[in-house]
Amino acid sequence: MISKAFQSSLDVCLFLAQNITMITIPSRGLFITGSDTDIGKTYIACELIRQLQDQGPGLEIRKPAESGCSTGESSLLIAGDALKLRAANQGRESMERIAPYRFRAALAPPRAAKLEGIQLAMTDLIEACSLDDINHLLIVEGAGGFYSPLAENGLNADLASALQLTVIIVVKDQIGAVNQALMTIQAVESRHLSIAAVILNQVEETIDNEMNNAEDLEPYCTCPVFRCLYNQQLQPVFSLRLA
């Protein structure tokens, strides 16, 4: 159980700097997943990438399958999330390396792939997540929730299990977040994967000031729980360290 390390300030939960809970980043890497789609996984992933750049080994970023891509001037599909991840890592890798499987329809990747006559197999995604340098840290962002389909024969959960990465769970900070967080935690633990943290992400500018999901979730959670305030960097909320 983590210690209560937060206080209320203007009805916002912030962690005390002198009693901050650290997230330990394993040497192998992280899998960023969530309780649903459109909850800010990419925003959180970008903040993690920016903070980790100066803390040790190089980073390799993967968004192996992205759907809902737009068509650019050259008729190439533009993966919006992958572009943000690449920018966060200062453009160190090509888009083809970060997001090799890109699809037009805003559907689960295997369904979007099928509409384009493509069979997307889990082995394709596992291979796409291979490291170019074994000394680098791998950061993988999934698509949708932990149990969302990611390939014709597998879920996000299957990719995380195959890669044996420690998981960060992103949950939209709203009514019902505790239930969503606990279900996702249980799903991750059922795969015998470690959880680095649960991050409650404030996606909307205004929320109920009386709501405090971080405090409500803490008694039921053995991993660190943090909040990311609306459009703010993660640094004021928590800090990171490498294992």
Closest CA to 35 of 128, 110, 165, 142: 142
- Please give the full DSSP string across 85-121, using - where no structure is assigned: HHHHTTT-S-HHHH--EE-SSSS-HHHHHHHTT----
Buried b (16+ CB within 10 A) or exposed e, 127-164: ebbeeeeeeebbbbbbbbbbebbbbbebbbbbbbbebe
Q: How far is CA 60 from CA 48, 53, 80, 129, 130, in A?
A: 13, 11, 18, 9, 9
Place of tokens 């993660």: 234
At 205 the three-state DSSP class reads: coil
AA letter at 224: P
Instruction: For the chain, give the number of residues.
Output: 243
Identify whether 63 is a catalytic site residue.
yes
From the list 63, 84, 114, 172, the catalytic residue is 63
Q: Where in the sequence numbering do the catalytic residues fall?
A: 63
